[in-house]
A and B are shown apart, each in its own frame.
Chain A
Amino acid sequence: MIGGVPLFDVLMVSAALFLAGLSGALLRRTAIAIFLAVEVMMNAANLALIGYGAALGTYEGQVLVFFVIAIAAAEAAVGLAVFVSLFRHTETIDVNKINLLKW
C-alpha cells in the first residue's frame, strides 16, 4: 500500500501501458508511430519504478525516473532528426518501404 494505493494496481496499470506500447511498436508501420509506442513503454517502466520506490519508501525510484525522462528527451531529439534525414533520402517513413541499408 502506498498512501492508499496498492502496489498491485500500480503494476497492473504499468503492465497494461507496456502492452499498449508493445502492440504499437509491433503493429504500426509508420516510423514515428513506432517511436511513440516506444515512449509509451518507457512511461510504463517509469510508473513501475515510481510504484516500487514508493512501496519501499525511498527516493531512488524518483531519481531514476528523472534520469529516464532526461534520456528520453535526448533520444527523442536524435531519433526525430534521424527520421527527418531519412525522409529527405527516401521520401517516406513507412518502415515497410525502408528496406535498403545503402542507397
Chain B
Amino acid sequence: MERLTFDLAGALAVLFAFVMVAQKHPVKSVLSLVVSFFGLAVCYVMLSAPFIAVIQVIVYAGAILVLFLFVLMLLNVPQETREKDPRPIQRWLGSTAIIVFAVVFVGVLARSGADIPPHAPFDRTAAADIPALARRFFSDYLFAFEAVSVLLLAAVVGAFLLAQKEKKP
C-alpha cells in the first residue's frame, strides 16, 4: 500500500516535471511544477518525513514558485518560439548529453544502496518524530541553523539591491 502510494505520487511528480519541460508557456511551466512538488510532498510523507513534506508545500510550492510567478508577471515573458533557432547544434549536443547521462545515472543508481542492509533498523514512528528533529536543529546543527538565517537576510538585501532601479547620476 505504501509502495503503491509512493509510486503513484512519484509518477505524478515526474510526469508534471516533464510537462514543465515540454510546456512553452512559462506560466504553465510554473503551475505544472506546483503539481509536481505536491506529488513530491506525498512521497516525503511515505518516507516518514512529514516535516519536510510540509515545508516542501509551504516554502517550495507556496513561496518560491509564487516568487517565480510574480517575476513572470513583472517581466511579461513571451512564449518561447522555435522558428529560427540560431544555434541548432545546442539542441543536438543537449539531447546527446541527456541520453548519455540518463544511461550512466540510472545504471549507477540501480546498483546503489545494495550495501545498506535490507532490514536496517528503522523505526517508522521515531523518524517521523518532529520534536526529535527540532532538537537536532537546536543542538548539533545550531550553528548551521543560525548561519542560514544570516544567509537569508543577506539574500533579501541582495535581491532588493539587484532589482532596484538604477539611479541616474
The answer to whether residues A9 and B64 also contact, given A24-B20, A71-B151, A81-B162 and a CB cut-off of 8 A, is: no
| CB-based contact B68/A30 at 8 Å | no
Partner of B105, one of A18, A56, A74, A77: A18
| CB-based contact B122/A2 at 8 Å | yes
Binary interface encoding of chain B residues 134-168 relative to chain A, with 1 for a CB under 8 A from any of its CBs, else 0: 00110001001000100110111011111101100
| CB-based contact B152/A85 at 8 Å | no
Binary interface encoding of chain A residues 4-45 relative to chain B, with 1 for a CB under 8 A from any of its CBs, else 0: 111111111111111111111011111011011101100100
| CB-based contact B3/A9 at 8 Å | yes
Report the 6 A-B pairs with minimum CB-CB distance, sorted nearest first: A4-B2, A13-B10, A74-B155, A26-B94, A20-B17, A81-B162
| CB-based contact B21/A28 at 8 Å | yes
Q: Which chain B residues (65-104) contact chain A, with CB distance < 8 Å?
A: 67-68, 71-72, 74-75, 77, 80, 85-87, 91, 94-95, 97-98, 101-102
Chain A contributes a number of interface residues (CB within 8 A of B) equal to 75
Q: Which chain B residues border A33 with CB–CB below 8 Å?
A: 20, 26, 29, 80
Is residue A76 within 8 Å, beta carbon to beta carbon, of the partner chain? yes
Partner of B6, one of A9, A22, A28, A82: A9
Report the tally of A-B residue pairs with Cβ distances under 8 A.
243
Please, could you name 16 A-B residue pairs with CB atoms under 8 Å apart, sorted by A?
A1-B119, A5-B6, A5-B47, A15-B102, A15-B106, A16-B10, A17-B36, A19-B98, A19-B105, A23-B94, A43-B37, A46-B40, A51-B47, A54-B122, A71-B151, A96-B87
- Majority DSSP secondary structure for residues of A touching B: helix
Q: Taking the nearest CB of chain A, how far is it from the CB of B49, in angstroms?
A: 5
Is residue A98 within 8 Å, beta carbon to beta carbon, of the partner chain? no
The answer to whether residues A57 and B123 also contact, given A19-B98, A50-B44, A50-B47 and a CB cut-off of 8 A, is: yes
- Taken together as a complex, chains A and B put the C-alpha atoms of A19 and B71 apart, in Å, by 26
Q: Taking the nearest CB of chain A, how far is it from the CB of B110, in angstroms?
A: 7
Q: Which chain B residues border A9 with CB–CB below 8 Å?
A: 3, 6-7, 10
